[in-house]
Amino acid sequence: MAFEELKQRQSATWGAAPFERIAAEIADVHADLVERVAPAPGERALDVACGTGGVTELLAASGAEVTGADFAPALVETARRRAEERGLAIRYDVGDAEALPYEDGAFDVVTSCFGVMFAPNQERAAAELARVCRPGGRLGLACWSPDGRVADFLAFTASFSPPPPDGFRPPTIWGTEDGVRALLGDTFELEHELVETHQEARSGEEAWELFSTSFGPTKVLADTLPPDRLAEYHRGFVEFWEGFRDGDVVRQPRLHLVTLGRRR
């Protein structure tokens, strides 16, 4: 029950801001992941926790028959609007990564980019990835590494947030080879690669403006903290980003694990 309540809050939180602005900052990761899974025209592809459609749009451009699922209705609504504007035939569903509304083996390609890793019940989410992927089908995941600066940012934000429910484990488990093997090694043949990318801003304040208005977890936290804690959070956020100053910009390194799998 605690996880179900958490997911309800997460759904509202992730949908509370225009996430497409954040998605634009990881477009390079989207493109890399789609290139690695190499969808072919006519293949059935599913992106789990699809957000506003950064991966699904690239999958559709390859000629694949594409479905995206996300548990935040507001994000799905944005993704549908974007697909219509771009003339892309993508099916979008409001769907829980821990209980996907699809038949067994329905897809040739299953992806998730910084999405499924945030499902509270990791074993259930992993089982769903395997269930909907056909035997011989392909899996592609991009998940933040616990050894990277994004993990430091998540830990910093967590220090200002209410504690998670009992039994909750860090999402960055999905960013470790051992963690992914424990979750998916029985159902997929796996290979992994650590990849570093960067996000740039002109200043820590510019990064704060982006995240506090467009990244749901940061926006909701900023909107709910009392003034003194908000000031502390804001100050710490800016200092974190300014720690990566490189001349006229701040350039934060981001480390993620790419996992590719073949369904057994």
- pLDDT tens figures, 18-41: 999 999 999 999 999 999 999 999
What tens-digit pLDDT sequence spans the chain (264 residues)? 589 999 999 999 999 999 999 999 999 999 999 999 999 999 999 999 999 999 999 999 999 999 999 999 999 999 999 999 999 999 999 999 999 999 999 999 999 999 999 999 999 999 999 999 999 999 999 999 999 999 999 999 999 999 999 999 999 999 999 999 999 999 999 999 999 999 999 999 999 999 999 999 999 999 999 999 999 999 999 999 999 999 999 999 999 999 999 999
DSSP state of 16: S
Per DSSP, the three-state class of 191 is strand
Domain ranges of the chain: 2-147+166-200+254-263
Return the pLDDT at 241. 98
Rounded Cα gap, residues 205 and 81, in angstroms: 30
Class of domain 2-147+166-200+254-263: alpha beta
Contact criterion met (CB below 8 Å) for 79 and 50? yes
- Range list of β-strands (E), 133-248: 133-144, 188-201, 245-246
Query: What is the pLDDT, as a whole number, of residue 18?
Result: 98
Residues forming beta bridges with residue 66, ordered by sequence position: 45, 90
User: What global pTM score does this model have?
Assistant: 0.97
Rounded CA-CA distance 132/67 in Å is 12
> What pLDDT shows up at residue 193?
98
d(CA 193, CA 83): 31
pLDDT for 33 = 98
Alpha helices in the chain (DSSP H): 2-14, 20-25, 27-37, 54-61, 73-86, 122-132, 149-158, 177-184, 204-214, 216-224, 227-242
How does DSSP assign 192-230, residue by residue?
EEEEEEEEEES-HHHHHHHHHHH-HHHHHHHHHS-HHHH
